Amino acid sequence: MLTHVTTGPSKEVESEASPLMTEDQAAIYMGGVSKKHLYNLRRDCGLPFVPVGSRIMYRREALDAWCRLRERRSTK
């Protein structure tokens, strides 16, 4: 699957979609939260991640599954 990836100001390239997302991509995917909030979710709530060297990466499927498990139908 090919997607458009922004590599910097006004630079878009077409590349193979990676099965992993960066912290920036995951933060946007999760509704525009901050990277600090992602860290807190990893630490406190078990948000799944993949360590790749010194980087933290996320699988879209794992984030979707984690969100489904935490879904609520009522605030009561």
| CATH number assigned to the domain comprising residue 35 | 1.10.10
Do the domain assignments include residue 71?
yes
Do the domain assignments include residue 48?
yes
Which residue range forms the structural domain that includes residue 67? 19-76
The residue whose two tokens read 């193979």 is 16
* Integer Cα distance of 30 and 59 in angstroms: 12
Do the domain assignments include residue 9?
no
Do the domain assignments include residue 2?
no
* Integer Cα distance of 76 and 16 in angstroms: 43
Count of domains forming the chain: 1
Q: How many Cβ atoms are within 10 Å of 31's Cβ, its own excluded?
A: 8
Please tell me the pTM assigned to this model.
Answer: 0.71
pLDDT in tens, the chain (76 residues): 444 445 455 444 444 567 899 999 999 999 999 999 999 999 999 999 999 999 999 999 999 999 999 998 887 7
* Integer Cα distance of 2 and 31 in angstroms: 23
